[in-house]
Amino acid sequence: MNIILLGPPGAGKGTQAQRLVDERDMVQLSTGDMLREARTSGTEMGQKVAAIMDAGELVTDEIVIGLIEEKLQSANGGGFIFDGFPRTLAQADALDALLEKNGQSLDAAIELRVDDEALVHRIVNRAKEAAAAGKPVRADDNEESLKIRLMEYYKKTSPLIGYYYAKRQHHGIDGLAEIEAVAGELKKTLDSL
């Protein structure tokens, strides 16, 4: 089973993806993780990624698709969770083509729906709790950074919701519920596919 987790920053995609990895033997394909891994791999693709990142430039869709294709070809039986990709409609089309080329398909795009005000409150509290517990606080876990990240999400990524809705692959879940409740809804959704 191959799925995409959609939702703005802080919606809980990473938390739920990790649970699916543990419970369903799925592979989380995080573009950030893949780029960091490629950069240090020493492969030809890794050298390209390192050069682009060292120059402070954005890695092209073509390179990200190439990294995803490498992962798809080393597939296990549990399927993939696409995390942080696709972010644009062009990337969604490229992912569809890539899956088809590899004899696979996308089963669902699951949106973790959140209210912006509640999300800002959640992230600011997460940073306060981490600081109080002596844990590292993400540099972008503050109200101003989150508002910028939200704007970027709404401009570029939120059109994917309509895209997958039109393809009858969209499923929405309340991302502000307790972690266990979100996990339960996610399980029900996946079991119904």
End-to-end CA distance of the chain: 9
138 in catalytic set? yes
Nearest to 177 by CA among 118, 108, 128, 129: 118
**Kindly report the CA angle at 85 between 22 and 18, in degrees rounded to 5?**
15
39 in catalytic set? no
For residue 156, give every residue at least 6 positions away whose Cβ sits within 8 Å of its Cβ, in sequence order, or none: 87, 88
Active-site hit among 13, 19, 39, 122? 13
122 in catalytic set? no
Active-site hit among 113, 149, 156, 187? 149
87 in catalytic set? yes
Active-site hit among 138, 147, 155, 167? 138
Active-site hit among 87, 113, 156, 187? 87
126 in catalytic set? yes
Q: Write out the H or E segment, with its range, that includes residue 165.
A: helix 159-166
Cα separations in angstroms, 38 against 41, 57, 67, 132: 5, 16, 8, 35
| Active site (catalytic) residues | 13, 87, 126, 138, 149
